[in-house]
Amino acid sequence: MARTGRRGTALPLGLVLPATGLLVLALGYPLVRQVFLSMQEFGLAQQFGQPPEWVGLKNYSEMVGDPYLWKVVLRTVLFCFVNAGLTFLLGLGLAVLMKRMTSWVRIATQCGLLLAWAMPVVAVMIVWQFAFDTEYGVVNWLLTRLGGDFQGHSWLIEPLSFYAVATLVVVWMSVPFVAFTLYAALTQVPDDVLEAAEIDGAGAWQRFRHVVLPSIRPVLLVVLLLQVIWDLRVFTQIYTLQRAGGVSRDTNLLGTYIYTLGIKGGDFGTAAAAAMFMLALTVVLTAPYVRMMLKQEEEQ
């Protein structure tokens, strides 16, 4: 029996260890390399062969002492939570609606969501840039026709309207994933439990709040966790809108801030330190959700 038990344990470990080793190698080496780079002075001269100088925590201290960094962090966190919250609520609402739709309407809606989700980011950004173009944008044309004074209005020059456009784009691209995932979870809620709650006198909102939401809570936590991580790492949408007319310094998030330090500024050591700071921020913001997920696992 003991030998059988050892064999039964060895087989799963033997299957898992090679994949685990490859994963650790693929993720571990870049992370360790990033840590070392963040403690070096690595600029343009080092790219042409000059040995990097070891500076320890100097890059971190200079970066943390820069007031501009904390402005960028505040913008990033606010942008992340606003976008994650809106995406989650809209996705949940669409999932509930799809559950109540007739078959052909639901299929048409799902096809539309799938097309929006599958579009390449660059193609999406070209469409949105044209929609909000100062001279030829359909948004300005439509608002002017409705009586507003939006002829030649620039949506990207002011930070507030810049982030409004960025939020619209990011949420539009993220909602399909949330809607599909939560719709799949809603289809797994037992109908007999809902019928029993209805017989007991529970209204639609009470059934949704006390039966449906607790039943799909693990999926809700996973979706919210992924959405926070993705919205914290937004880069392409912000960078593209900055190139289309936004003021970089007034609209930088952590992703574009790191890009500015490294690729534009040539200070790869400080950029690596900022990337490690972003990783730490991601861990801090997602830790409560991970804790809730672990607690949920222990309760089951």
The token duo for 106 is 């639901």
User: What phi and psi values does residue 41 have, to the nearest 5 degrees?
Assistant: -90, 105
Range of weakest confidence among 22-26, 126-130, 227-231, 266-270: 22-26
Containing H/E element for 40? Answer: strand 40-41
The pLDDT confidence band at residue 1, using thresholds 50, 70 and 90, is very low
**CA 201 from centre of chain:** 40
CA quadruple 211, 213, 214, 218: dihedral sign: positive
Q: Which residue's structure tokens are 């001279």? A: 135
The pLDDT confidence band at residue 244, using thresholds 50, 70 and 90, is confident
Question: Which residues lie across from 53 on neighbouring strands?
Answer: 41
The answer on pLDDT for 267 being more than 60 is yes
CA distances from 238 to 72, 76, 79, 244 (A): 13, 11, 11, 10
Q: Which domains does the chain have, with CATH numbers?
A: 58-299 (1.10.3720.10)
The token duo for 189 is 């809620």
Pairing relation of β-strands 40-41 and 53-54? antiparallel
Q: What is the pLDDT of residues 42-90, one digit of tens each?
A: 877 777 777 888 888 888 888 888 899 999 999 999 999 999 999 999 9
**Rounded CA gap, 233 and 229, in Å?**
6
Amino acid identity of 178?
V
Q: What is the pLDDT of residues 133-181, one digit of tens each?
A: 888 888 888 988 888 878 888 898 889 999 999 999 999 999 999 999 9
**Rounded CA gap, 253 and 69, in Å?**
9
What's the pTM value of the predicted model, to 2 decimals? Answer: 0.85
pLDDT at 9: 65
